Structure 1
């Protein structure tokens, strides 16, 4: 069952700072002590995070990952995707591997990261999301199964003014139901960088799109299907939590709901048949 209320761990890592200059040094010291204990120089898993103008969110994200309970060796690799704020200043004070990608877009950032990743497996995380302690473990349980090339998980929203938790809960239930339909023939449409994992060797063969457009994650998943299956991680212990700021584009919760229902209804029958092979590097969204 989806959490109807916000879990306590989310409240603990959802740090209250508004800007880089508000973050006190002890926050970095405690975080780095945890990261030094957890990260490995010989990781099996590389967690890739692309960050664009996320000077505080990236701190929250990595703080949540520092609470992980996974026993598998891992590293965190962050790509500063040409940020114009103080994202780099924040990263300079955190003990994670980091890169700078001047080409704008998640595709170029993630491509650079996977080329430099030490792990055999890649987990994608978004810089504005918070990850539960069991996230990595639950994702890897499915990703390490024979014949699996890629996995994806579900996610939940943190309430904000204008978006009550009960409303967001309803949206999540609808979203998960639609994902179930997509998974039958077009599972790659559910593969979002907020919670996605794959075998690095397959990701390198497929390659990310190298210009700034949305859907780089789903395109990669589509191209990896020739190497193995795409599987869903259904455990609620693997749900990242994020702000509903993507819903703000619609203007209100009501519009967000109606726009999504209209869009999914319009393409419902296309989801019941497989997508034909095509060039994902040139195709339109």
Structure 2
């Protein structure tokens, strides 16, 4: 993969310059059929996605997940957290298993997902993130083969805004790698983000789940900061009582998430400086 360009597998999932309302009935049915295997009666893996007003993003996420070929039966669950746009209509059209959480906040949505999940293994995803074809298998592998591992988290990169390249974002990611490595020396739990982490469902429940004091805003609210998400870091910290954290470094597991949170700061440089001041601290 060229670090400064998007990998080839992403392009079919981006649906560039197209909204879900632009899809033909044939395209909707084709994606629905691709998602059909991700609703088995007895899943071993649960992929859980919270969503709030993501009608113009979530079908991209679902398309990328549908391109996975997990070795174990896998379910996809979306928790609709009071969306007021067409998010639910998109999910209904694609036949995705959905629950509605009326308590507002990402931690409430993730907690419901944790409680509804049937799989032994729980993978956390987000509705503005694109997942590579081997993501599920790569993330689950350490949990299956090493009993000392209680929580996995993976690498991530940023999707550039429409019509722009990844040069500035790639440089930001390279600089951020230094901070990630520093945090592994004592505050590794801060590296775990809810769009790219996993654990055993039962251990997640026993650890206290995702509920925290306070309420985090969704990432599609202007000013929201992916660094300060708290329910995912708290979950990773609590899971350390069962074992150790494991960073999945395979390029096959690198996810691409929205850069809209960075763009709120006005520039990549300003975004990096703002986050550098905070990233060595707790969420």
For the criterion TM > 0.5, the same-fold answer is: yes
Tell me, in whole angstroms, the C-alpha distance in 1 between the residues paired with 2:157 and 2:262. 13
Structure 2 counterpart of 1:201: 202
Structure 1 counterpart of 2:215: 212
**1:162–1:253: 8 Å Cα contact kept in structure 2?**
no
Is it true that 1:224 corresponds to 2:239 in the alignment? yes
TM-score by length of 2: 0.88
Residues paired across the two proteins, number: 268
Structure 2 counterpart of 1:36: 36
Residues 83-130 of structure 1 deviation map (CA, whole Å, 9 limit, x = unaligned): 111101111112221100011111100101111111011000110011
Tell me, in whole angstroms, the C-alpha distance in 2 between the residues paired with 1:48 and 1:234. 21
Correspondence list, 1:156-171, <5 A: 156-160=157-161, 164-171=165-172
Measured after TM superposition, the shift of residue 41 of structure 1 is 1.7
CA RMSD after TM alignment: 2.0
Relative distance call for 1:216 and 1:249 in structure 2 (3 A) is same
Structure 2 counterpart of 1:182: 183
**2:54–2:87: 8 Å Cα contact kept in structure 1?**
yes
Structure 1 counterpart of 2:129: 129
**2:180–2:191: 8 Å Cα contact kept in structure 1?**
yes
TM-score by length of 1: 0.88
Tell me, in whole angstroms, the C-alpha distance in 1 between the residues paired with 2:141 and 2:2. 20
Range with bigger deviation, 202-211 or 221-230 = 202-211
Unmatched tracts of structure 1, length 5 or more: 276-284
Measured after TM superposition, the shift of residue 160 of structure 1 is 2.2
- Give secondary structure in 1 for the equivalent of 2:264: helix
Tell me, in whole angstroms, the C-alpha distance in 1 between the residues paired with 2:119 and 2:133. 20
Tell me, in whole angstroms, the C-alpha distance in 1 between the residues paired with 2:70 and 2:181. 27
**1:162–1:252: 8 Å Cα contact kept in structure 2?**
no
Measured after TM superposition, the shift of residue 184 of structure 1 is 2.1
Is it true that 1:234 corresponds to 2:249 in the alignment? yes
**1:163–1:253: 8 Å Cα contact kept in structure 2?**
no
Tell me, in whole angstroms, the C-alpha distance in 2 between the residues paired with 1:239 and 1:36. 24
Tell me, in whole angstroms, the C-alpha distance in 1 between the residues paired with 2:26 and 2:74. 24
Structure 1 counterpart of 2:174: 173
- Give secondary structure in 1 for the equivalent of 2:124: strand
